[in-house]
Chains A and B, each alone.
Chain A
Amino acid sequence: MLEVCNLSVSYRHTTAINRLSFTLQSGQVTGLLGPNGAGKSTLFKALLGLVPLDEGIVKWAGKPVTEQLNKVAYVPQRSQIDWDYPVTVKRAVMMGRVAATGWFRQHNRRSQELVRHALKQVGMWQYRQRQIRELSGGQQQRVFLARAIAQEADLLLFDEPFNNVDRQTEEIIFELFAELKAQQKTLLVISHDLSETLENYDRLLLLNKKLIASGSKAEVLTNENINQAYDRYCNLTPQPLTINRFTHADLVN
């Protein structure tokens, strides 16, 4: 279980996250929603100890997360990566095993096996010798998913995995989520998509610097909450669930 208590982060004098508290249960996929600049990526960085906290505690299974980073897998946004880097698909996934392997050691058989399994799971095994530059956006995303699986983490953080990916990749990602869920992993996923794909999440968190709402889809996606989070008037009724691929961009416009 991940416990976040009173978490605050600021850059200089600008508040990025304000007194955020929530818990995530094992075996659940939680979607993290909110407008641009709501502090979603900052929250991830704060959970991982990559930015200094003003206050607050982040605990995993009762102990500070920063003391057990090997149990956390982080899947960064695709735009953060230099895709021209000379590395093959297989070696990129192998990076998920670096921390577990430890200093001065070669990757062992088990790591090789985990990487093979992870690549097969995301349907990328046949591309293992390709340089990452030669992949499509969806395939690149799947390489990072494989890296997270190979890491054997218990808590997985995904930063906008659905950004600019093809339908096939989207399906593979959701299948993977279901599988990880069955293994009692804890997943937190940043998403911009407010459409029917939200059915795939067990719980939603709506963020805009502070936590606006959390709970089931019906509890979170009320007009009142959305207006408060996105600071716009918007009417989701009468049939919000049938709106086809209603995205964050629509709300801004």
Chain B
Amino acid sequence: MLTWLTEPLEFEFMRQAIAIGLSLGILGAVVGSYLILQQMGMMGGVIAHAVLPGISLAFFLEIDLAIGAFAAGVLSALVVMGIQKRSRIKVDAAMALTLTSFLALGVILVALLETDNINLNEILFGDILGVTSGDVWRTVIITASVLLLTKLFYKELEFYTFDPLGAKACGLPVNLLYFGLICAITLTIVASMQTVGVLLVMSLLVGPAITAYLLVKELSQMMILGSIIGAVSSVTGMYCSYYFDLPSGAAIVLVIFSFFLLAFLFSPSQGILTEPEIKTKVRSWLKLIFK
């Protein structure tokens, strides 16, 4: 059993992959908690797709791809906010339009700038084997910074995400807080590109956070429990990937979903199998079976 656990760690790439996975699991849950409480779960998807034109431009200009991705991601979120604020259009429609437009712009830029030797597959689905120690450091530094900022601005962010109007009425700089959240979401996505890819990153943002949401009654607990779930899921996914030769990103996503399913069914306060009526029904079925 112990060798089963330690064997993958003998490889440098697995040590790095696990370090990145742990880090992302924590980062995704903390940022994702705000994301889902703001009812912006799909915003993660928008930003994740919208990084493409930025990556293409950065590749063309020979600067760090992460910088291009970050800039394009933040811009897309601001476009969504702009459309929503300045018109009657609801946020989901604004998101759908922005997502596709940025993606289209990305596709055109890739063709025009002839940057088609960017490995799109790697960006979309992640490639854990390609992780470098530079990637590990970048992810760890992003995670540490976001955690520190969350700690520093915890009470303001909690107030703002709970009651935006009340927070604004108290004189809190709500636009700045919103912009900070958008930056944190985009940073999380940029940091996850290598491991799970931009298509699957939504799972890291949303999954652990909503699983914890079903189990706790305070934001801080949601973040802590979410981080544990995220980190455990990442590592479990990596091991599955190693032993069963599965794509790492997809394995992590399915582990996250399994955890969610457990909480969804068995959460003491909100699980569907723990509702009193259903409990008694299940008990009577079990009695019938084991009679």
* Chain A residues with a Cβ under 8 A of chain B: 48, 50, 69-70, 72, 74, 76, 80-82, 85-88, 91-92, 94-95, 98-99, 101, 103-104, 107, 130-131, 147, 151
Contacts and interface: CB of A to CB of B under 8 A. Distances in A.
Contact of B163 (A88, A95, A99, A101): A95
A48 B174 CA distance: 14
Given A86-B217, A86-B222, A48 B163 contact: no
B218 A98 contact: no
Interface of B: 37, 39, 152-153, 155-156, 158-159, 161-163, 165-172, 213, 216-219, 221-222
Given A82-B37, A131-B217, A74 B169 contact: yes
A50 B158 contact: no
Contacts of B161: 85
Nearest to A95: B159
Given A86-B216, A88-B217, A95-B162, A50 B156 contact: no
26 contacts: A50-B168, A70-B170, A70-B171, A74-B165, A76-B166, A80-B163, A82-B37, A82-B39, A85-B161, A86-B216, A86-B218, A87-B158, A87-B218, A87-B219, A88-B218, A91-B218, A94-B155, A95-B155, A95-B159, A99-B171, A99-B172, A101-B155, A103-B152, A103-B153, A103-B156, A131-B217
B165 A76 contact: yes
A57 B170 CA distance: 19
A95 B158 contact: yes
Contacts of A48: 168-169
A86 B213 contact: yes
B165 A86 contact: no
Nearest to B164: A80
B252 to A, nearest CB: 25
B37 A98 contact: no
A85 B220 CA distance: 12
A82 B162 contact: yes
A167 B193 CA distance: 56
A92 B218 CA distance: 10
A91 B152 contact: no
A131 B155 CA distance: 17
Given A70-B171, A82-B37, A103-B156, A95 B166 contact: yes
Q: Identify which of B171, B172, B213, B222 gathers the most chain A CB atoms within 10 Å of its CB.
A: B171
Q: Identify which of B152, B156, B165, B166 gathers the most chain A CB atoms within 10 Å of its CB.
A: B166
Contact of A99 (B152, B153, B158, B170): B170
Contacts of B170: 69-70, 74, 98-99, 151
B152 A104 contact: yes
Contacts of B172: 98-99
